[in-house]
Each structure stands twice: as structure tokens, then as C-alpha cells.
Chains A and B, each alone.
Chain A
Amino acid sequence: MSTHQPPLQQAAPAAPEWQAAPGGSYPGYVSPIPVVRTHLGHAITSEWTKIRSVRSTIWTLGVFVLLVIGIGLLAGAVVSNSASSPDDLSGSNALSLGFFGLLLGSMCIITLGVLTTASEYGTGMIRTTMVACPSRARVLAAKAIVFFAVAFVITLAASAFVAMTQVSMLNDVARTPTGGEWLKGTVGVSLYIALLGLLSLIIGSIIRHSAGAITIMIGAVLAPLVIALFMFSSSLEKVRNALFEYSIPNQLSVFYSNSLSDSGPSGWDPLWIILGVTAVAFAGAYALLEKRDV
């Protein structure tokens, strides 16, 4: 390398030959591809392609269906073998046996929900997504709609199948469920599970880290119940009851009218509670998405 270089002359920023055409018109290439004014529908189609084209969707949903149906049928078989009269089930209906499978299965829905958003941050795909669709609200909304629809349909199919099988298995020993109980035990729980998944999706978008968001969500499901279990002191009685009553497993059991306690949420309350929480979280996630760099 030589030791004496002439100082570099910095040319004037705009050489005349490159001056833009006047009047704010922008010359250049015109594509033969027709220009489409995009809307939410385009983003939804895109997200649908995304969710169906990765293996993790097949895995999580496959395990979910296996758990719900497998555990549901197992519980039905055990009860129908051991119970001989309606008294053994203390007057409850056969639908409530679907609870165990759905509680375990909800972990799969939580995982899929988190992965829908957080995996894009893990892989860097989010930058490609946001470049293709600069409206961040639209991206989040499209992901939410597609995921919610998928989670709801799968949960409804699995829980309805289990419910019908269990009711026919326990025809002689259990009370026949009413129409309202059918609705809560299938559509109700499916909406609840799908909303729980949607909340996970939103947490994934806020945390931007798959493992972290999954841990938070599983903690949110299990921690209140586990903590309440070890609250022996009578002065903590009120806290303990609240933790029991509002823990997600207990709220889920409310749909089968076999809550752990007599007070606390009842009827369709759990659905309104999670709907409110999800709405607030969605607003927060949207605000963060707009504010942060991708």
C-alpha cells in the first residue's frame, strides 16, 4: 500500500444528470402485473398459507386431538366399567368427563398460539412479513383470526366427538345432559380453549420469544392452582379461594358445571372473563407492535 494518497474529493451530492424529473412525477419501470389494493382478506389468505405449511401446526394439533379423544375415551371406559348407578356420578352428566383431555390438550393449543407469532421473531420471518404488509395491525389481526378459527374448529370437532361418545357409553349410569349443557360442553369450551390460544398468540407477539411465552402461559394456567394448594394458613383463606376459583382449570370446569367451589365464576362467566383479558392484551400487543422496531 502506498503511503501518500491524494485526499478524496467528495463530489457534490447531486450530479445534474441524475436530477429527478420535475413536478413530483416519478419516472421508471412500470410492471405488467396488475396493481391490487390489498385488504385484510389478502393478509388472512397469507396467514392461512403460513399456518398450514409448517410442521409444528400438524404436530401440535395432532397431539391435541389425540389427547382430547384418547383421555376422553379412557375416562369414559373407566367410569362405565366401575359405575353401576347414577348415584356413583353424584348426579352429574357424562359430558364432564371431557374435562381432563381438554385441560391437558390446552397446552398444545397454547404452544401453537405462541408459535404463530413468536416463531416469526425467532426465524426473522417477521421482517419479511412486515415488509410485505406494512400495516402491523392488519398482520396481528390476520394472525388472530386465522389462528382462532383453526383452534375453534379443531377443538369443537374433538370435544363434540368425545362428548357424543361418552354420553352413549354412559347411557345407563349418567344423567342425560340438557341442551344447555351440550352447548356449554362443546361450543362453550371450544370458544374458551380457542381464546386461551389467542391469548397465547398475543403473549407470543409481546414477548417475541417462543420458549419464554410458552412458559408464561403454562405458568398462568397451572401456577394459581398449585400455589393455592399450599396455602394452609387460615388468614390466607380468601386469597386461596380466589386463586382456586379463578384458576384456568377451575374456570374450564365451570363449563361442565362441576366447579371446585360453589362461589366464583359460574355459567358462561369464564368466557366473558377470558374475552376481556384477551381484548386488553390484544390492545397492549398492538400498541407495542406499533411502537417497537421489528
Chain B
Amino acid sequence: MIELASLTKRYGDKTAVDDLTFTVRPGIVTGFLGPNGAGKSTTMRMILGLDHPTAGRVRIDGKRYEQLKDPLTYIGALLDAKAVHGGRSAFNHLLCLAQSNGIPQARVAEVLDTVGLTAVARKKAKGFSLGMGQRLGIAGALLGDPRILMFDEPVNGLDPEGIHWIRNLMKSLAAQGRTVFVSSHLMSEMALTADHLVVIGQGRLLADTSMADFIRTNSRSYVRVRSPQRERLLDVLHGAGITVVETGAGALEVEGGKAEPIGELAAQNGIVLHELSIQQASLEEAFMQLTAESVEYHAHADSPPVPLAWGSGWDKGA
């Protein structure tokens, strides 16, 4: 169990983490979601005692991180795949971690096997791909067989097989009664793994809810209708007591409705339909709406300037 209370971190006048209060509970996978630069990694570093909070506190099963005498057997963390000395072999990297926590050396071979790196155990870490580095980081997190696991963007750089593996790994770790806390900026990824969801944006808590609740609230279905006889269709639908919303592209949307009654109504009234389809708003859209105001870095939606034809500026004279 990880408990955060009014956790705040400021760098100069920039607030990276702003008064965060939430609890990560055992037995489930808790997803930690936010756009890039939302403060997820800073929060995780504070949980691990790497960064000092400006205000507030973090407790791991009631203790401060510094009070843990054998931290790796308590909490295992994958921070970023590159937190490794490239000149050291995977085996020696894990061995020095095991030794610092009095973990038997046999565990090194075990976790290398778990993450599938046994074949490259004696190879230097700098030759590893991003996915292999990620697996080595996960091996380090699992080394002490800890009751709490924290993964910062674990699927980054993994191939589909690796993503599938890490999903199942996290679920099985949680099923054993462990606390699993995993950060991501991908809602779709979280929807498949997390049981509980903590969403932050610009360091502030935006949502702390169970995944089921989040889906129930946010997965919205509607029927989209397009017709050349738009005005008539509107009259008919209004007449039948169906609420219609007009959208920009000449289409009509009927909230939560079924497609069949609309099609039948159109047929009875001889209205031509060009489209009649059921649409599902994705969780990704719900997440983007939730964090829209707090996105730190965003690209401009409008199209890039059209390049002028070659030589078109010549007559203007330089």
C-alpha cells in the first residue's frame, strides 16, 4: 500500500506535483495516467525517496522509504530502462542490486529467466534494445520478490508480444495480493490492465476512480445518421420524440439510441439515408477531454503552412 498525502514538488516557481492525495491499494493494478510532463515520474521518484517533496508526505505500508532496511524486498521499481551502467552485464547489474539487499544470488538467474534475458545475461547492457532494457529493469524490480511493484511506462519500446507479456505479468502480480502501480500516457493500455485509475494533469489530481466506473461514465454510444433530406429527417425524428444533435459535417447524432427505429422511421417516410451507424466514443477521447486543459506540450491542430511552389518567391525580389 502506498499512501500519498498533499504531496507537492516545486522546482523554482514551477509546480511539478501539486497537492496529490491518493492511495494505491494491494491486490489490484492501479493505473497512473497523465499526459507527458504531468508529473507522473516526479511522483514516482518521490515515492522512492529519490526526490524530496516540497510539502506533503509519502508512506509505504506506513513507513518512509528511507526507513526501509531492505527496500528491494519491499518495493520493486522500474523507473526508466536506461538507469543502468551500459558497461556492466545484465547478470552483474542484477547481482550488485541483489547483494546490496542481501538477496540470494540464485534469484538473479530466476528473474533473468522470468523476463527472458537468460541468453544475454553476460552481454553488456549498452548493447540492449529499448525492449531488452525494459525487461532488465523489470527483472530488477522483481529481484526481491517485493509486495509492492511500481512500473513507469513499462510498455515503452516493447514489441506486441512483450506488451502482452507485461500485461499478464502485472495482472498475475496483483492477483497474488501485491500492490501494483503502473504509469502510462496511453488510456487504451490502461483500459486493458488497470482495475483502478488515478489521472493527473499538470501535477493535479483529475480523477481517482475504479476502471469500471470510468468506463461506465465515459463509454458513450450514439447513432450517426446522414441524409440528403436532412430537414425532413429532422422533422420526422423530432415528431417521433427522438432528440437529435446536429454536428458539423452535415451528420446527425442520436444519443444512446438504437439504429433500427431510425432506419424504420426513414423508410416509412421515404427518406434517403447515406449513413446509419452506431458509434462508440473511445476511452482515449474521454481521457483527452479530461486532460485537455492540462496538456503541457501539444502540437498545433491546424495544418502546417503550405509550402510555396519552387521559385514562387523569386519575382518578389530578395
A residues with a Cβ closer than 8 A to B are: 1-6, 8-11, 13-15, 18, 20, 24, 26-33, 35-38, 42-43, 45-47, 49-50, 53-56, 119-120, 123-135, 293-294
Contacts and interface: CB of A to CB of B under 8 A. Distances in A.
Contacts of B66: 134-135
A128 B207 contact: no
Contact of A2 (B82, B214, B222): B222
29 contacts: A2-B247, A5-B281, A8-B218, A10-B206, A11-B207, A11-B209, A26-B1, A26-B61, A29-B26, A29-B176, A29-B178, A31-B145, A31-B146, A36-B101, A36-B102, A37-B69, A38-B101, A42-B100, A53-B89, A123-B85, A124-B84, A127-B80, A128-B97, A130-B49, A131-B79, A132-B97, A133-B71, A134-B66, A293-B45
Contacts of A10: 206-209
A119 B68 CA distance: 26
Interface string B165-177: 0000000000011
Interface string B264-303: 0000000000000001010001100110000000000000
B70 A27 contact: no
A33 to B, nearest CB: 5
B135 interface: no
Contacts of A26: 1, 26, 61-62
A5 B285 contact: yes
Contacts of B82: 123-124
Nearest to B28: A18
Given A4-B245, A13-B22, A18-B196, A28 B84 contact: no
A290 B95 CA distance: 26
Q: Which 4 A-B pairs have the closest CB atoms?
A: A36-B102, A11-B209, A46-B100, A28-B26
Interface string B222-266: 100000000000000000000001011000010000000000000
Contacts of B220: 2, 5-6
Interface in B83-109: 83-89, 92, 95-97, 99-104, 107
Contacts of A132: 71-72, 97, 100-101
A17 to B, nearest CB: 8
B74 to A, nearest CB: 9
B23 interface: yes
A29 B71 CA distance: 15
Given A18-B25, A33-B73, A27 B99 contact: no
- Size class of B's contact patch? 35 or more
A5 B147 contact: no
A125 B84 contact: yes
B100 A43 contact: yes
Given A26-B26, A42-B99, A293 B85 contact: no
Interface string B196-226: 1000000000111110011001101010000
B217 A133 contact: no
A21 B95 CA distance: 36
B34 interface: no
A211 to B, nearest CB: 16
Nearest to B106: A33
B113 interface: no
Contacts of A42: 99-102
B146 A53 contact: no
A134 B88 contact: no
B71 A30 contact: no
Given A13-B23, A123-B83, 6 more contacts: A11-B214, A18-B196, A37-B102, A124-B83, A127-B79, A132-B97
B77 interface: yes
Contact of A33 (B85, B87, B145, B196): B145
B207 A33 contact: no
A2 B279 contact: yes
Contacts of B101: 36, 38, 42, 132-133
Contacts of B70: 35-38
B21 interface: yes
Nearest to A37: B69
A112 B21 CA distance: 44
Nearest to B148: A28
Contacts of B23: 13-14, 18, 20
A50 B207 CA distance: 42
Nearest to A24: B62
A195 to B, nearest CB: 25
A123 B248 contact: no
Contacts of A5: 220, 281, 285-286, 289
Contacts of B85: 50, 54, 119-120, 123, 125
Contacts of B77: 131
A33 B107 contact: yes
A125 B28 contact: no
Given A123-B82, A133-B100, A56 B87 contact: yes
Interface in B109-164: 140, 144-148
A20 B84 contact: no
